[in-house]
Structure 1
Amino acid sequence: MAPSPLFFLFLLLLSASISAADDNTSPAIFRSVCSANQTSDPGGFDVHFVDAMEKVFQNITKLGFGSSISGSGEPLTVYGLGQCFSYLNRISCQLCYAQARVKLPRCLPANAGRIYLDGCFLEYSYRNVYADSIDAADTFDCGNSTLGGSRLPNFNKSTAELVGNLTAAAYRKEDYYEVASVVVSRHLTVYAMAQCWRSLNESGCRDCLDKGREELVGRCLPTASTDSKAMNAGCFVRYSTDPFYFGGASSAGGRSSHVWVWLVVALSIFAVLLVIFTILVMNRRWRASSNSEEDPSIEIIRSISTSQLSFKYEDLRVATDNFSDRNKLGQGGYGSVYKGTLPDGREVAIKRLFFNTRQWVDQFFNEVTLINQVQHKNLVKLLGCSVEGPESLLVYEFLCNTSLDHYLFDVAKKANLDWERRFEIIVGTAEGLAYLHSASIVRIIHRDIKASNVLLDERFRPKISDFGLARYFAEDQSHLSTGLAGTFGYMAPEYIVHGQLTEKADIYSFGVLVLEIVTGRKNQNSISTSAEGHSLMQQIWQHYSCGTLVKLLDSELQGKCSEEEVLHVFHVGLLCVQASPALRPPMWKVVELLMTRTKDLPAPTVPPFINVKGSQSRSRSSTSETSYLLSSSVTRSLDSGQSSVNQLSVSVFQGR
């Protein structure tokens, strides 16, 4: 017997309720404080803000605490400081930091800002704030809920003693952290915590906790507040009648909260299974229904199915030997790519997409629509797609030499890339981008230019691939405001901070790619492979300043090409990665600069993410590590609350 419409409605309501409950579990923002003073150089300050925040993240994921510095002096120095409260596990710490990292840029262009969340703290400043324990920006929140009745005297006395004992003990602890609870009555327990940032010394922590205790006991308890927080420059103190932490003293309330967590998890799993079943049944009904005009996706599917772009799913399944791993060419967040041989003998590349949400459906139609409108020798050709089977497939021309990264970063294969081929790849990629930006039917920004998205044909000629993240502009648009998408290490700093997308973001990514091609080094792992611990961008800028750039030429090319040509390409690459987007030349100009090899190139300005200094942790058991570029991080879109943990591409929001 088929489920009734009321059953479907019940499932959808249940799913919505659980989703809402999940949304409510994201870290609450308690308070954010922005300086009244603004930086004198917002663009340059943004660059170092991004760098400082990402270095904090690299430390905080390992130690629960991170500090960093980026820049070469006022007004372009940014100090970063972050601390997860010790009751968070590692994943919760990462997610809390990600939330803080998304919200804190709202303070920019203020030269300092801090944010307190339910589980972590994050701060940036133009000056060194590591030793600050209390300052004028300290604040407290007594909450909105109060307690009355006969329990009030016991509540005030017990809570005051609890907070006093905690703050007197926490600064003596290894990690400056203490939690405890006290039973006030049969149905009332108070929970409290105190935590200092590990950048403080013991006396600084004590001073900070003392001030926090005075605020809570002297200002909040007299009002009978049931949930109060003291948020100071160097510490956080809280008490609540809710068991807000894990790992504290065992109590009935704490045990109940664990039972509730498991209950929610069980219900969530059950709801997910029911929703999946519902979707399958409803999808079958929708496919069988002829009345689909209210769903635009159905109309698009029908249009594609009747066009010359349509392939039969069964033909593509057979072509790949049922998507055998032997035919697998690669995998990303949108799915996997397989080599296939069609019944007529043509070899093709088939992208097998996995749709988890409506967003993925939009990405699929986005790629089909955009790439079908553009035709250029340096763009991968879309042959068609399949939309009627159990999954959606894209069919592309097959390029036998796969992607550039398979050669460029492989010691055994990079010998295939002599200077002539590398230069042809650089120019061809530039021409493809110039076409997308200014010569195609629609104005398109790719958003994910990198070595793995440049495919090579039998003669190693380049073709730009993967248009799932691409966006097109109306003629009168100067930029798009959008969530983050792209690959860490290739994303322009102004796009990361403000989420405003222009062609300049592609130009920055292209510049990074050029520098990788000339040096044969991957930008993302350049710190770990450098004897000095310097990033690729930092090494290049240092050698450029000293007039010794040719030393960074890939060893495979040393003595086998013209130094003058190499230095010219280096120079063009540096022009593309300048921190200020206004200074980056448009792609049509980049092509012209590469081909004419004029000696009158403008001098490049300092690129972002250099002048990196280490950071220190108070931890006595391990040393702090720093990272230079955005890589392998949990990040969040400026407009979204979803996250991705990957060092590959991120969209709104899934790692690739």
Structure 2
Amino acid sequence: MGKPRTRSRACLPMLRAAADVLRCLLFAVAMAAATVGADSSAASPVILATVCGARTAPNPEGFDVSFVNTLELIYQNVTRSGFGAAASGSGNDSVYGLGQCLAYLSPTDCQLCYAQSRVKLPHCLPADGGRIYLDGCFLRYGADNFTAAASDTGDAAVCSNDTAPSAPAFAAAAASLVRNVTASAPGAKGYYYAATASASAMPSGARVYAAAQCWRSLNATACAACVASARNRVVGRCLPGAAEGYGLNAGCVVRYSTQPFYLPANAGGGGGSSTRHIIIVVFASVLSAMAAVGIAFIWTRMRRRRDHLHHDDMDGSGELIRAIAASQLGFRYQELRKATDDFNQINKLGQGGYGSVYKGVLPDGREIAVKRLFLNTRQWTDQFFNEVKLVSQVQHKNLVKLLGCSVEGPESLLVYEYLCNTSLDHYLFDAFKKNALDWERRAEIILGTAEGLSYLHNASEIRIIHRDIKASNVLLDEKFRPKIGDFGLARNFMEDQTHLSTGLAGTFGYMAPEYIVHGQLTEKADIYSYGVLVLEIITGRKNHNSMASSAEGLSLMALIWKHYNAGTLMELLDPNLREECSEREALKVFNVGLLCAQASPNLRPPMWKVVEMLGRGDRVLPRPTEPPFIDVKGSNANSYGSGSSFSLKSNSDKSPFSTNQLSVSGVQAR
């Protein structure tokens, strides 16, 4: 494609304008819902305080791995019971952790609060300790076992800027109520007690609310000492002037407020709640219709003005649109709509975080796969152009071929070659269909996927990191040959770059620990994902769902590592393969998977080396080191589906994550 910088580039600003219209209208819906009394749980929990340790971990890389393991262990328990304490690693790499939600949070709000704390706490690294207090939950990690500590030098009080009503009367009522709840909490269920009281001389109906809670890792004596310390601190520092105050200790939280923070948002609402919901639904429906009209209007103007406007977009996307329209890559929207029978659900092949995929048949009889992008955020333009730019520049037998796209209709569509056997996960994790995956086919899938990744990392004109390698993104043709698909999250990587710093995106269970903790992306993240995929292929088990099927409640990584050390890996080989391959062949594949999934990114082999290892020959392979996440125990709470991808921005206090539970990554999406 030529790049004449003076040519018109009107399309991208109009595309972004359409996204902005929808974004603004949806924001108006949210604001209207809040105005008429929407559920307060929609708001992200407020961060009250963050305390990071002064010492640096002696071995930051090993400490990071243990940190991720510990927080995952805590998550398994917090989602089940609201509390979790865990430890992983040894020596200088030991990490202890504790997380707890306050008892008045709903299970959903507890998960949201924990997710926010889990995103923010890694900002303390490489410090060997840190804690974060949110409005409703607490999370802490450290190199030493602190779980029985009631108080320490990090204890604090946080007072609101709002002035208390009738300060003297309020202060007396608040102090008395705080003394009451802190005296009762050590003997209450779960060390939690809340109460309310009125105060004389306060405005009619005015009340004060208070609650105290200790972490479940304390005993009753330590709890009593903790709440007493927190009570003295919050009463001494926040009263009489502040309308709200928190005593934040190592082992407990004490809070008072003029607001009924521990009561359900709709308590006492009765019929008013239903009325508010009706108003919200009606208002949202009206604004959604306005959004549709607005987008249609902008798209119409875009088509009319494409040949007349001469704006200059910075990334050349307008030029890309014109080049597509003038080339054989351009498809008419109506043609694709007809090919898919108006996107009939019968033709739906799958769904991801940024769009759905449908089978279509063109007038000439060619079968195609049409990816229909969601228009629910401004990100859709970025994902569309990212996928078109990257995929159109790479050609390899193990990469899905982009046939073209449509940019002129009311939504953006990508057109790919149709692969009749859909994706690997449809066969690998189905008890009946997996019979089609004999040893020869699985070996070809493992090698072909490695060759495709090696091309992306090393051989293409632009280095590309896929970011979402997993079984559902490996597609299979009529002969079960693999092709890597879904480049919506992919990023190109300049030759002089050591890493990319990005918002977190991908699928839990396949994401490398260094990427989860630091958000620093290299091709080593793809290699880790590939290693997990290899181990899934040879065992026939899902990595993230494997705990439920393990008698010991171990993750797939933990199970494989245990059998590796015991010399019994063949017990984990998929039973369908035991008569089809030699022990030498199977152990080689196990070894390659473990080498790619090592905790340290520096030890993972590059993909070209992986291809070499998988080739013929009896060369001796290196001994792998311990993978991450082997301490994760099973739980009935499986909130992160193994097939769902997600995208998470860790630099915003407003939204701890952006998830999409449609494909199923993920925190489920894609």
Relative to the length of structure 2, the TM-score reads 0.86
CA separation of 1:411 and 1:263: change in aligned 2, threshold 3 A: closer
Deviation at 1:264?
A: 9.9
Amino acid at match of 1:281: F
- The answer to whether the aligner puts 1:655 opposite 2:658 as a matched pair is no
Shift of 1:289: 3.3
Alignment-derived partner of residue 116 in structure 2 = 99
Quickly say closer, same or farther: Cα 1:248–1:396, change in 2 above 3 A.
Answer: closer
Contact 1:488 1:649 in 2 (8 A): no
Q: Which amino acid aligns with 1:173?
A: A
Counterpart position of 2:238: 220
Distance 1:173 1:272 in 2: 48
Question: Counterpart of 1:566 in 2: which secondary structure?
Answer: helix
2: distance between equivalents of 1:603 and 1:647? 39
Structure 2 distance, partners of 1:634, 1:392, is 21
Partner in structure 1 of residue 321 of structure 2 = 301
1:340 is paired with a residue whose SS is strand
- Following TM superposition, by how much is the alpha carbon of 1:232 offset from its aligned partner in structure 2, in angstroms? 0.5
SS for the counterpart of 1:644 is coil
Deviation at 1:331, TM superposition (A): 1.7
Aligned partner (choices 577, 593, 596) of residue 557 of structure 1: 577
- Greater CA drift, 328-337 or 109-118: 328-337
- Give, as a single letter, the amino acid of the residue that structure 2 aligns with 1:39: A
Is 2:525 aligned against 1:512?
A: no
Instruction: Give 1:372's aligned residue.
Output: 392
Residue of structure 2 equivalent to 1:427: 447
Deviation at 1:259, TM superposition (A): 11
Which residue is 1:125 aligned to? 142
Distance of 1:265 and 1:424 partners within structure 2? 54
User: Which among 34, 43, 46 is matched to residue 28 of structure 1?
Assistant: 46
Superimposed CA distance per residue, residues 293-329 of structure 1 (whole angstroms, 9 cap, x where no aligned partner)? 4374555433322221011222222222222222222
Contact (CA 8 Å) 2:555, 2:633: kept in 1 or not?
Answer: no
Q: Equivalences for 1:53-68 in 2 at 5 Å?
A: 53-68=71-86
Identity of aligned residues (%): 59
| 1:168, distance to aligned residue in structure 2 (A) | 1.6
- Which letter maps to 1:638? S
Letter paired with 2:49:
R
The one-letter code of the counterpart of 1:316 is L
Partner of 2:433: 413
| Alignment counterpart, residue 74 of structure 1, candidates 75, 78, 91 | 91
Pairing 1:246-645 to 2, within 5 Å after superposition? 246-247=263-264, 269=284, 274-290=290-306, 291-294=308-311, 296=313, 300-612=320-632, 636-640=648-652, 641=655, 642-644=657-659
1:4 is matched with none
Quick one: which of 138, 148, 172 aligns to 2:187? 172
- Structure 2 equivalent of residue 138 of structure 1: 155
Relative to structure 1, is the Cα distance of residues 282 and 351 closer, same or farther in structure 2, using a 3 angstrom cutoff?
Answer: closer
Structure 1 residues 37 and 393: CA distance shift in structure 2, 3 A: same
1:541 Cα offset (Å) = 1.2
1:258 Cα offset (Å):
8.0
Matched, 1:191 2:209: yes
| Secondary structure of 2:170 counterpart | helix
Aligned in 2, Cα 1:597/1:577: closer, same or farther, shift over 3 Å? farther
Is the Cα contact below 8 Å between 1:66 and 1:82 reproduced in 2? yes
Residue type of the partner of 1:195? Q
SS of 2:330 mapped into structure 1? coil
CA offsets 1:153-208 (integer angstroms, 9 cap, x no match): 21221111111112122222213223333334116533322222223222222221
**Aligned 8 A contact 2:399 2:452 in 1:** yes
In structure 2, relative to structure 1, the CA distance for the partners of 1:97 and 1:294 (3 Å cut) is: farther
| Secondary structure in 2 matching 1:123 | strand
- Call closer, same or farther: CA 1:197–1:276 in 2, change over 3 Å: farther
1:261-296 alpha-carbon deviations (Å, 9 max, x no partner): 879957973655545544443443344334444374
The verdict on how the C-alpha distance between 1:197 and 1:292 changes in structure 2, with shifts beyond 3 A counting, is farther
Shift, 1:381, TM fit: 0.6
Cα shift readout 1:340-390 (whole Å, capped 9, x = no counterpart): 211111111111222212201210111111100000011111111112222
CA distance in 1, matches of 2:220, 2:374: 53
Partners of 2:62 and 2:664 in 1: CA distance: 25
1:229 equivalent to 2:246? Answer yes
Structure 2 CA distance for aligned equivalents of residues 521 and 610 of structure 1: 16
Residue 120 of structure 2 aligns to which amino acid in structure 1? K
Gaps of 5+ in 1: 1-7, 615-623
Question: In 2, are the aligned partners of 1:286 and 1:292 still within 8 Å (CA)?
Answer: no
Residues 277 and 231 from structure 1, CA distance in 2 versus in 1: closer, same or farther, beyond 3 angstroms?
farther
